[in-house]
């Protein structure tokens, strides 16, 4: 999709840009594949656990098939739709047996295309197959880490992982972050780079448009007074003067990785 500019009739319109939605072929979602989405707004049991979240536009959750576990049955792409819950677009599939499912829409996938999830599938955008069956250099998305658990890697707009090498039961994947990681060869992935490449180039233009996405204004700690934040106070511009802390005084950037279940042994090269 291309970016659409606006005439500067107001200060908010001056730098605003949005997607032209030229790839979208259907505006209303499939009723059987949506569910309600509650507005928790960064709260747990009514208490704020994540600051700066709230408001946002009312929306429904689309039930996307990340497992691609409907195997050996062809499906036709009925529509490409916008999903307000993610940066990538989604495609509505109509299977030959009558079932309907949503998947993430890769770049180049069009209405009336036929795709399949199978071990012997062709290497074309939208098809899903085990990593072992793909040639080296293939760009994939929606990659599983555990066979059958569903894809969790490379799922945002414009991303794609590259099959760099094969070593026994392991596939070396180069992720969008430049990290190289070992993944089991039986893990399924979908071929192609995800579409909506222009998403990162979009400019919101005004603060109110951030509120539509549920993002409230965020005030830096050093800009506050000492009663509101440990970093606050001081004459003129001042640094933190301490190790970074949360508004409640706890250390920020604390590592939360479970030491009992390290996954670092699968990482061949750290992200840069």
The Cβ-side half-sphere exposure at 27, using a 13 Å CA radius, reads 2
**pLDDT at residue 258, as a whole number:** 78
| 259 has a pLDDT exceeding 80 | no
**pLDDT at residue 102, as a whole number:** 98
Mean pLDDT of 203-221: 94
Q: What is the largest CA-CA distance in the chain?
A: 71
Q: Which segments within the chain are labelled E, that is strand? A: 3-5, 17-19, 34-36, 43-44, 47-48, 60-62, 75-81, 90-95, 100-104, 114-115, 128-130, 139-141, 143-144, 151-153, 161-167, 170-174, 180-184, 188-191, 267-269
Distance of CA 171 to the CA centre of its chain: 22
Vertex 142: Cα angle to 121 and 197 (nearest 5): 105
Range name among 18-22, 72-76, 89-93, 172-176 with the lowest pLDDT average = 18-22
Q: How many CB atoms lie within 10 A of CB 81?
A: 20
Q: How many CB atoms lie within 10 A of CB 150?
A: 15
Residues 6+ apart with CB under 8 A from 86: 64, 104, 155, 156, 157
- Domain 3-200 sits in CATH at 2.40.50.140
pLDDT, mean over the chain: 94
User: How far apart (Å, rounded) are the C-alpha atoms in residues 139 and 174?
Assistant: 10
Sign of the CA dihedral 24, 29, 33, 39?
positive
From first CA to last CA, the distance across the chain in angstroms is 29
**pLDDT at residue 265, as a whole number:** 87
Q: How many CB atoms lie within 10 A of CB 190?
A: 25
**Per-residue pLDDT reduced to its tens digit, 34-62:** 999 988 889 999 898 888 999 999 999 99
- The answer to whether 119 touches 69, Cβ cutoff 8 Å, is no
**pLDDT at residue 1, as a whole number:** 77
User: How far apart (Å, rounded) are the C-alpha atoms in residues 197 and 199?
Assistant: 6
User: How far apart (Å, rounded) are the C-alpha atoms in residues 206 and 93?
Assistant: 36
**Per-residue pLDDT reduced to its tens digit, 158-199:** 999 999 999 999 999 999 999 999 999 999 999 999 999 999
């Amino acid at each position: 999709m291309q970016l659409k500019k606006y005439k500067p009739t107001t200060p908010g319109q001056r730098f605003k840009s949005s997607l032209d939605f030229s790839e979208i072929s259907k505006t209303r979602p499939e009723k059987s594949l949506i569910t309600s989405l509650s507005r928790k707004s960064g709260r747990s049991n009514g208490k704020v656990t994540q600051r700066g979240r709230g408001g946002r536009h009312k929306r429904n959750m689309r039930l996307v098939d990340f497992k691609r576990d409907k195997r050996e049955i062809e499906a036709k792409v009925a529509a490409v739709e916008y999903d307000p819950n993610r940066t990538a677009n989604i495609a509505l599939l109509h299977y030959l047996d009558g079932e309907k499912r949503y998947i993430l829409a890769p770049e180049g996938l069009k209405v009336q295309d036929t795709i399949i999830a199978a071990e012997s599938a062709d290497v074309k955008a939208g098809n899903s197959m085990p990593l072992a069956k793909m040639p080296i250099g293939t760009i994939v998305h929606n990659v599983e880490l555990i066979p059958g658990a569903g894809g969790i890697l490379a799922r945002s707009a414009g991303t794609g992982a590259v099959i760099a090498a094969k070593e026994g039961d392991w596939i070396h994947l180069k992720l969008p972050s430049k990290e190289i990681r070992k993944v089991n060869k039986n893990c399924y992935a979908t071929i192609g780079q995800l579409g909506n490449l222009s998403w990162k180039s979009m400019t919101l233009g005004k603060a109110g448009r951030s509120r539509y996405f549920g993002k409230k204004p965020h005030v830096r700690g050093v800009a506050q007074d000492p009663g509101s934040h440990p970093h606050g106070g001081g004459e003129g511009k001042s640094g933190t003067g301490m190790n970074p802390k949360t508004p409640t005084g706890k250390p920020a950037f604390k590592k939360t990785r479970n030491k009992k279940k390290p996954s670092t042994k699968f990482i061949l090269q750290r992200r840069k």
